[in-house]
């Protein structure tokens, strides 16, 4: 049944809770099995379970569970690190939800960034009956992902900031907040035990481009009513002061556009609608036409314009194929690839491999984003390549401001909400700890602050609060069409292949006569340069022959024994000669 929309949340007094918790509950001396979650108490309780986004940047997903209901906040993805060879994306483990499916009421979306919605298509493959609820632009971006993943009919419900929904015994209100994407909201989740306030990604922008500052009144109203627990964005918890307004980027853009003699190419996150608006406004102001490059960016521009979040004069828009038909000084290209992704438009342009756009000397390239942790090398490589092609490159300070609040804004949120308990989310572990210290400075008792990691189960009752167990909070790797079928063993093999290569030995045997019919043939990839290693290859064949000769008559009849003998002999010889340990794959065929 669809959640009922109401417009006035009922007030309730929050009971005063005592706790024996600690700032770092995992160090409190208790022994917690890695995946043991005790049976919930018979009395009213609330459990908060982060399945992603704690101790990492990405795949944000948090569960709020009561005796009868579960609501999910976001379901994002994370891009693989350099140790996840060949993996496309990383999503959260849904095992905890599989065991409690009958309690799941809805998936609430705070905003439309990939690290908050990217896992939704995979979630709905398993739980197609769960409604997805968010603001219109957030749901439009979710729908765009459905086209890519061929997701069928699902229950999408659009709400406006300020609306509340009844989800079983839980009530949730979407509260307008400012971020680097329109339609971003915090969530006030009222449970039978008290209010849970989840900030989502936010900053307190006093002069946003759309003229809609955060809903301070609603946030303060909830604070005055009493908040059981605050979950707050920790991305910039280590950065002092305030995060500048998005409008400050306009000043930098004005200087860049005024001085650029040729084409201007601006790379940013596709979903950063305020930044897209800035580029459009400056293209109009400086009498340039604008083209959009990248499917994700084109989707965002289409939906944001359709929903009224983006002001785009269509007479200024040109197709990327027609860019060369206009003088360079009349063109702006906005593109994806600000994170140096290998197949992104900007990265391909930087090595002159993009079929529709080429960097030429005199182009001005603006990288309007800061690297996500882990992407620094790829971003630097892209920038270096742009310089080599003769482009003028602007990146770093001035061309970008963060969409996340710095310390003074985090403290303001804490003082507006005034929570009894506090859980920092959305950040690497050091960021969570820094945010926890800020909460203490803002007056939250140290024993009421919980630094959680993915999978931790934090439980609140009327008499106690603390970590009670841990569920699956690890990575689920998506590689091609496979979800979760790439594990530690596969990654270990890929790591070995990437570091020392592979040696394959192919031999055919007649098991009945216990004799070699053909081979052994030796092939190598990534071990040494073959034309210069003919002598070593001959030695490897000889070692394989010797291993076959050592097999007894009984052993020759057992292909597994033959494989092990060849593997041991080849591995030993390669290491003696090269000090390398390639993957050795004996292929024994019976004829």
| Domain residue limits, the chain | 19-241+403-481, 247-395, 501-590
Torsion of CA 52, 53, 58, 60, to 10 degrees: 70
Please give the pLDDT value at position 370.
81
What is d(CA 586, CA 581) in angstroms, rounded to the nearest whole number?
Answer: 15
The pLDDT value given to residue 5: 40
Q: What is the pLDDT of residue 250?
A: 86
Residues with catalytic roles: 233, 404
Which residues of the chain fall below pLDDT 50?
1-2, 4-34
User: Which pLDDT belongs to residue 414?
Assistant: 98
CA 427 → CA 41, 113, 182, distances in Å? 30, 15, 22
Q: Say how many C-beta atoms besides its own lie within 10 A of residue 510's C-beta.
A: 14
If you write DSSP's letter for every residue of 45-109 in order, what string do you get? -EEEEEEESBSBSS--EEEEEESS-EEEE----B---TTSTT--EEEE--HHHHTTGGGEEEEE-
Structure tokens at 33: 């099995």
pLDDT attached to residue 490: 60
Q: Say which CATH superfamily domain 19-241+403-481 falls into.
A: Ribonuclease Z/Hydroxyacylglutathione hydrolase-like (3.60.15.10)
Concatenate the DSSP letters of all residues of 383-432 into one string.
Answer: HHHHHHTT-EEEESBTTB--SS--HHHHHHHHHHH-EEEEEEESB-HHHH
What's the CA gap between 431 and 20, in Å, rounded?
A: 24
CA 87 to chain CA mean position, Å: 13
Q: What confidence score (pLDDT) does residue 340 get? A: 78
End-to-end Cα spacing for the chain: 63
Extract long-range pairs of 435-442: CB within 8 Å, 24+ residues apart.
435/232, 435/234, 435/237, 435/410, 436/23, 438/237, 438/407, 438/410, 438/411, 438/414, 439/414, 441/411, 442/411, 442/414, 442/415
CB count within 10 Å of CB 460 equals: 26
**Tens of pLDDT along 319-343?**
999 999 999 999 999 998 888 777 7
Predicted pLDDT at 497: 63
The CATH class of the 247-395 domain is: alpha beta
At residue 323, the pLDDT reads 92
Q: Which residues of 50-73 are buried (b: 16+ CB within 10 A; e: fewer)?
A: bbbbbbbbbbbbbbbbbbebbbbb
Choose among 476, 423, 373, 497: nearest CA to 46: 423
The DSSP output letter for 316 is G
Instruction: Reply yes or no on domain 501-590 having CATH 3.10.20.580.
Output: yes
Structure tokens at 189: 């989740």
pLDDT of residue 22: 33
- For residue 40, the 8-state DSSP code is P
Q: Is the peptide bond before 520 cis (omega within 30 degrees of 0)?
A: yes
| Helix (H) or strand (E) segment spanning residue 187 | strand 185-191
Q: Which residues contact 543 (CB under 8 A, 6 or more apart)?
A: 569, 570, 572, 573
Helix (H) or strand (E) holding 540: helix 534-550
CA distance 47 to 66: 6
What was the pLDDT predicted at 28? Answer: 37
């Amino acid at each position: 049944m669809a959640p009922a929309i109401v417009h006035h949340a009922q007030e309730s007094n929050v009971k005063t809770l005592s706790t024996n918790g600690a700032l770092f509950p995992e160090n409190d001396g208790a022994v917690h099995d890695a995946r043991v979650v005790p049976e919930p108490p018979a009395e009213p309780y609330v459990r908060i379970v982060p399945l992603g986004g704690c101790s990492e940047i990405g795949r944000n997903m948090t569960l709020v569970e009561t005796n009868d209901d579960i609501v999910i906040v976001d379901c994002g993805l994370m891009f693989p690190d350099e140790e996840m060879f060949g993996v496309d994306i990383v999503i959260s483990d849904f095992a905890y939800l599989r065991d409690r499916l009958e309690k799941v009421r809805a998936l609430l979306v705070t905003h439309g960034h990939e690290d908050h919605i990217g896992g939704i298509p995979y979630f709905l493959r398993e739980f197609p009956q769960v409604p997805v609820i968010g603001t219109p632009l957030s749901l439009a971006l979710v729908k765009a992902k459905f086209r890519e993943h061929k997701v069928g009919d699902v229950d999408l419900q659009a709400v406006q900031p300020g609306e509340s929904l009844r989800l079983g015994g839980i009530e949730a209100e979407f509260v307008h907040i400012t971020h680097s994407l329109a339609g971003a909201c915090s969530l006030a989740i009222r449970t039978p035990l008290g209010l849970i306030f989840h900030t989502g990604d936010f900053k307190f922008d006093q002069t946003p481009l759309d003229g809609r500052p955060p809903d301070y009144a609603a946030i303060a109203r909830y604070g005055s009513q009493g908040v059981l627990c605050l979950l707050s964005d920790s991305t910039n918890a280590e950065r002092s002061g305030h995060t500048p307004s998005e409008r400050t980027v306009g000043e930098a853009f004005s200087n860049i556009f005024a001085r650029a003699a040729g084409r201007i190419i601006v790379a940013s996150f596709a979903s950063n609608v305020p930044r897209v608006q800035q580029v459009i406004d400056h293209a109009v102001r400086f009498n340039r036409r604008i083209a959009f490059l990248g499917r994700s960016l084109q989707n965002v521009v289409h939906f944001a314009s359709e929903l009224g979040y983006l002001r785009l004069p269509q007479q200024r828009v040109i197709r990327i194929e027609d860019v060369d038909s206009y003088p360079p000084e009349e063109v702006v290209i906005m593109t994806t690839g600000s994170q140096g992704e290998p197949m992104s438009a900007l990265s391909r342009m930087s090595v002159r491999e993009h079929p529709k756009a080429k960097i030429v000397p005199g182009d001005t390239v603006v990288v309007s984003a800061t690297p996500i942790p882990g992407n620094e090398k790829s971003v630097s490589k892209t920038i270096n390549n742009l310089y080599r092609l003769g482009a003028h490159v602007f990146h770093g300070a001035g061309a970008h401001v963060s969409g996340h609040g710095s310390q003074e804004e985090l403290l303001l949120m804490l003082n507006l909400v005034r929570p009894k308990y506090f859980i920092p989310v959305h950040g690497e572990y050091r960021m969570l700890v820094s945010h926890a210290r800020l909460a203490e400075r803002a007056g939250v008792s140290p024993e009421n602050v919980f630094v959680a990691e993915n999978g931790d189960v934090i439980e609140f009752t009327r008499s106690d609060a603390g970590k009670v167990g841990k569920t699956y909070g690890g990575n689920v790797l998506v590689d091609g069409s496979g979800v979760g079928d790439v594990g530690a063993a596969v990654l270990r093999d890929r790591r070995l292949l990437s570091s020392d290569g592979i040696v394959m030995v192919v031999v055919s045997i007649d098991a009945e006569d216990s004799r070699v019919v053909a081979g052994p043939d030796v092939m190598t990839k990534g071990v040494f340069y073959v034309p210069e290693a003919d002598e070593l290859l001959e030695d490897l064949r000889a070692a394989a022959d010797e291993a076959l000769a050592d097999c007894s008559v009984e052993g020759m009849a057992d292909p597994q024994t033959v494989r092990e003998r060849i593997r041991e002999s080849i591995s030993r010889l390669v290491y003696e000669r090269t000090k390398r340990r390639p993957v050795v794959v004996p292929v024994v065929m019976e004829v």
